C-alpha cells in the first residue's frame, strides 16, 4: 500500500511542472469567480433610501410652501408629518431636517467630521469677505482650523476673559447709570442690551479711545447694520437655489449685502490704519484699549501673507474674525437678554424669586460682581429655560454633509444642506414635561446635566461638536452679568396701556417681533451705587 502511494506521489511530482500551469489557470478562474461573487453580493446589498418628505413642485420643489416667517416652526410642523428625519427639495438643493436627540447625536458626534461642513449662501459669502471668517469657512480648509484656534485659545482664553472683566463691568455699570438718569421713561430692552454688549465688545476688540470720528460714526449704526445682516442672511435667495440665475441677483440681496460690507470694510480699514500709525509700540498695545492686549493687537501680531495656506493669516482672515465677533457675538447676547426679561415679565412670580435671590446673594446695598454669578442658581435656571424656549439660533448654523453616509437608516447624499432643528427638540412633549410652560425649576436640580457644553443632545443652545460656538464663555458671562445687574438695580414695569406678547421674528438670530419696552424703578438703597 505504502509503495503504491509512494509511486503515485513520485509520478505526480515528476509531472508537476506540467501541472503547475494547469493549476495556476484553475486557481485564477476560481479566484475571479470568488471576486465576482463577492462584488455582486456587495452591490446587491440594498442601498438605504433617502429620508421621506413632502412632495414639492417641479423645479422649485417645496420652496413656495414653506412660508419663511418662522422657518423653525414650519420645520417642526413637517416633522409631525414625516418624522424626526425628512428631506425637502428647496429648488435644486436637497435639504435634510433632523429633529430628534438621537439623530442629532449621530450627526454631530458619530459623524462629526462629515457634518462639520458649511454651505454658505451668496449673502453669507459676501458679508464674510468670501467665507474667510470662522462661521462659514469650510471645515476642510486649513485656515478654518487656524482661525478657530486663534479665536478660542489666543483671544478668548480664560486669562484674557478675566483680564477683560473690568471692561465688561465698566460698560454694564455705564448702562445702569444711563438708565438711572432716565428713570420713569420707557427703555427698549433689546437696544439697551445691544448697546451695552457692542460697547463691551468694541472695548475688547480695539479699545474705546482714539478711534477717530469716522470709526465712531459707523459704530453708531451698528445695530441697524447687524439687524439688516441677520435678515438678509435668513431671507431665501433664488440665486442660492438656482445657481444658474445667480448673476441676475433677482432679489437684490447680493447688492444690499455688498453695501453693508462696504461700511464694515471701511470701519476695519480705519481701525487697522489707526493702529498701524500709532506712534510707539507702547501706544499700540496700551493706547487703544487701556487693556494689556486687545483682540486687534493679537490678530495683527499674527498677520502673515505666506503662500502656505495652513499657516497664512491674511487681512481677509482678520476681518472675517472681527466680523464674527461683532455680528455673531453681540446680536445673540443682546437678543437673549431681551427674551429673558420678557419671560420674567410674563411670569411675575418667577421675577419675584429672581429679585429675592439677588437681594440675598448680592444685597441691596451692593452692586453685582462676576463672582456673585455662580451663586445665583435661580437666575441661572431662568436663563436656561429662556434658552430652551427661545434659542437665538433655533436651527444652529446650517451644516452641509461632506460625504455620503447613512443616518437613521437613510442615505444622506454628499452636499445636502442639513438643519438641526433644536427648537423642535426643545418643545417636544416626549422629552420635556409640559414644554410650552415657562418652568425654570426643571433646571434647578440637574445643573450639571443641562450645561451649555454640547454634551446633552436634548439641549444645545450653543451647538455641539467641532462647530460648536467658541464664544460660549464670553456670551455666558456677558449675558449673566448684564441681566443680574439690570434686575438687581431696578424693578421693571410695563408702560401703562401696553400688553406683553412673546411672538418672534425669524432671522438668522430669532428676535422678539415687538421690542420689549419697560420702565425702570430704582431698587438699590444708596443712590451712589448707580454712579459709574
User: Where does this chain bind ligand HEM (CB under 6 A)?
Assistant: 134-135, 148, 324-325, 328-329, 332-333, 336, 392-393, 396-397, 461-464, 467-471, 474-475, 479
How far is the C-alpha of 500 from the C-alpha of 494, rounded, in Å? 8
Contact at 8 Å (CB) between 426 and 389?
Answer: yes
Q: Which is nearer to ligand HEM, 121 or 333 (CB)?
A: 333
Q: Which helix (H) or strand (E) holds 79?
A: helix 71-82
Least distance (Å) from ligand HEM to the CB of residue 250?
29
User: Among residues 392 and 520, whose Cβ is nearest to ligand HEM?
Assistant: 392
Q: Per the structure block, which three cell numbers stand in for 476?
A: 455666558
Q: Cβ closer to ligand HEM: 53 or 461? A: 461
Q: Which is nearer to ligand HEM, 275 or 467 (CB)?
A: 467
Compute the least distance from the CB of residue 162 to ligand HEM, in Å: 15
At 412, is the secondary structure helix, strand, or coil? strand
CA distance 174 to 196: 8
**What are the E-state strand segments in 335-422?**
399-400, 405-407, 410-412, 417-420
3-state helix vs strand vs coil in the chain, percent to 5: 55, 10, 35
**DSSP characters for 221-273?**
THHHHHHHHHHHHHS--HHHH-GGGGGG-TT-HHHHHHHHHHHHHHHHHHHHH
Indicate the residue among 295 and 410 with the shorter CB distance to ligand HEM.
295
Which residue in 365, 519, 439, 463 sits closest to 109, CA to CA? 463
Q: In the complex, what is the shortest distance from the CB of residue 54 to ligand HEM, in angstroms, rounded to a whole number?
A: 25
- φ, ψ for residue 351 (rounded to 5)? -60, -45
Instruction: Give dist(CA 314, CA 273) in Å, integer.
Output: 15
As a whole number of angstroms, the distance between CA 69 and CA 81 comes to 20
Distance of closest approach, residue 365 Cβ to ligand HEM, in angstroms: 30
56, 63 contact by CB (below 8 A):
yes
Nearer to ligand HEM by Cβ, of 241 and 322: the residue is 322
Long-range Cβ contact pairs of 283-287 (< 8 A, separation 24 or more): 287/207, 287/209, 287/210
The count of other CB atoms within 10 Å of the CB of residue 247 is 9
H or E stretch including 202? helix 189-206
CB of 114 to ligand HEM, least distance (A): 14
Q: Specify burial of residue 196 (Cβ count, 10 A radius: 0-12, 13-18, 19+).
A: buried
Q: How far, in Å, CA of 296 to CA of 303, rounded?
A: 10
Nearer to ligand HEM, 84 or 328 (CB): 328
Q: Least separation, in Å, of the C-beta of 113 and ligand HEM?
A: 13
Q: Which is nearer to ligand HEM, 391 or 440 (CB)?
A: 391
The grid coordinates of residue 319 equal 476681518
In angstroms, give the least distance from the CB of 360 to ligand HEM: 26
Among 391, 364, 497, 381, residue whose Cα is nearest residue 442: 381
3-state secondary structure of 531: coil
**Cell output for 55:** 412632495
Q: Which is nearer to ligand HEM, 271 or 336 (CB)?
A: 336
> Distance between CA atoms of 531 and 174, rounded to whole angstroms?
8
- The minimum distance between CB 402 and ligand HEM, in angstroms, equals 14
Locate cell 450645561: which residue?
451
Nearest residue (CB) to ligand HEM, 372 versus 467: 467
- Least distance (Å) between residue 130 CB and ligand HEM: 16
Least distance (Å) from ligand HEM to the CB of residue 192? Answer: 16
Taking the least distance from each CB to ligand HEM, the nearer of 75 and 180 is: 75
- Smallest distance, Å, CB 330 to ligand HEM? 7
Alpha-carbon distance of 457 to 102, in angstroms, equals 7
Tell me which residue of 426, 395, 423 sits closest to 509, measured CA to CA: 395
Closest to ligand HEM by CB, 358 or 472: 472
Q: Least distance to ligand HEM from the beta carbon of 141, Å?
A: 11
CB of 63 to ligand HEM, least distance (A): 23
Residue 470 or 520 having the CB closest to ligand HEM = 470
| Shortest distance (Å) from residue 177 CB to ligand HEM | 24
Nearer to ligand HEM, 477 or 529 (CB): 477
Q: How many CB atoms lie within 10 A of CB 487?
A: 23
Amino acid at each position: 500500500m505504502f509503495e503504491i502511494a509512494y509511486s503515485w506521489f513520485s509520478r505526480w511530482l515528476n509531472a508537476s511542472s506540467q501541472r503547475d500551469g494547469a493549476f495556476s489557470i484553475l486557481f485564477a478562474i476560481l479566484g475571479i469567480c470568488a471576486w465576482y461573487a463577492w462584488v455582486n453580493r456587495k452591490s446587491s446589498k440594498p442601498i438605504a433610501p433617502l429620508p421621506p418628505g413632502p412632495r414639492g413642485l417641479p423645479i422649485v420643489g417645496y420652496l413656495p410652501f414653506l412660508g419663511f416667517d418662522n422657518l423653525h416652526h414650519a420645520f417642526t410642523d413637517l416633522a409631525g408629518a414625516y418624522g424626526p428625519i425628512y428631506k425637502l427639495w428647496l429648488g435644486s438643493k436637497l435639504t435634510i431636517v433632523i429633529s430628534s436627540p438621537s439623530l442629532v447625536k449621530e450627526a454631530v458626534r458619530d459623524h462629526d467630521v462629515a457634518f462639520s461642513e458649511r454651505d454658505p449662501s451668496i449673502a453669507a459669502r459676501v458679508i464674510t469677505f468670501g467665507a474667510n471668517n470662522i462661521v462659514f469657512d469650510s471645515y476642510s480648509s486649513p485656515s478654518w482650523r487656524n482661525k478657530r484656534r486663534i479665536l478660542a485659545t489666543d483671544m478668548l482664553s480664560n486669562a484674557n476673559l478675566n483680564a477683560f472683566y473690568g471692561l465688561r463691568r465698566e460698560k454694564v455699570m455705564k448702562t445702569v447709570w444711563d438708565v438711572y438718569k432716565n428713570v420713569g421713561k420707557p427703555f427698549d430692552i433689546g437696544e439697551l442690551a445691544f448697546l451695552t454688549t457692542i460697547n463691551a465688545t468694541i472695548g475688547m476688540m480695539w479699545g474705546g479711545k482714539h478711534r477717530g470720528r469716522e470709526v465712531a460714526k459707523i459704530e453708531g449704526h451698528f445695530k441697524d447694520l447687524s439687524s439688516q445682516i441677520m435678515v438678509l442672511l435668513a431671507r431665501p435667495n433664488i440665486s442660492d437655489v438656482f445657481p444658474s440665475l445667480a448673476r441676475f441677483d433677482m432679489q437684490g440681496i447680493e447688492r444690499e449685502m455688498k453695501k453693508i460690507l462696504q461700511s464694515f470694510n471701511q470701519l476695519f480699514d480705519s481701525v487697522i490704519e489707526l493702529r498701524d500709525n500709532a506712534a510707539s509700540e507702547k501706544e499700540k498695545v496700551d493706547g487703544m484699549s487701556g487693556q494689556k492686549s486687545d483682540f486687534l493687537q493679537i490678530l495683527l501680531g499674527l498677520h502673515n501673507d505666506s503662500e502656505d495656506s495652513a499657516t497664512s493669516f491674511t487681512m481677509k482672515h482678520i476681518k472675517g474674525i472681527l466680523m464674527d465677533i461683532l455680528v455673531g457675538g453681540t446680536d445673540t447676547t443682546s437678543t437673549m437678554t431681551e427674551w429673558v426679561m420678557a419671560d420674567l415679565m410674563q411670569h411675575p412670580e418667577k421675577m419675584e424669586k429672581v429679585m429675592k435671590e439677588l437681594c440675598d446673594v448680592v444685597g441691596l446695598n451692593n452692586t453685582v460682581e462676576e463672582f456673585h454669578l455662580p451663586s445665583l442658581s435661580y437666575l441661572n435656571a431662568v436663563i436656561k429655560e429662556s434658552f430652551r424656549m427661545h434659542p437665538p439660533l433655533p436651527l444652529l448654523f446650517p451644516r452641509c454633509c461632506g460625504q455620503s453616509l447613512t443616518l437613521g437608516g437613510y442615505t444622506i447624499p454628499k452636499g445636502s444642506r442639513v438643519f438641526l432643528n433644536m427648537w423642535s427638540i426643545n418643545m417636544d412633549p416626549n422629552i420635556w414635561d409640559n414644554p410650552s410652560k415657562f418652568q425654570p425649576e426643571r433646571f434647578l436640580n440637574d445643573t450639571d446635566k443641562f450645561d451649555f457644553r454640547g454634551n446633552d443632545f436634548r439641549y444645545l443652545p450653543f451647538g455641539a461638536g467641532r462647530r460648536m460656538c467658541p464664544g460660549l464663555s464670553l456670551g455666558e458671562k456677558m449675558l449673566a452679568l448684564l441681566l443680574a445687574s439690570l434686575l438687581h438695580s431696578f424693578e421693571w414695569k410695563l408702560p401703562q396701556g401696553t400688553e406683553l406678547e412673546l411672538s418672534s421674528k425669524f432671522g438668522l438670530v430669532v428676535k422678539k417681533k415687538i421690542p420689549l419696552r419697560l420702565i425702570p424703578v430704582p431698587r438699590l438703597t444708596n443712590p451712589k451705587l448707580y454712579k459709574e
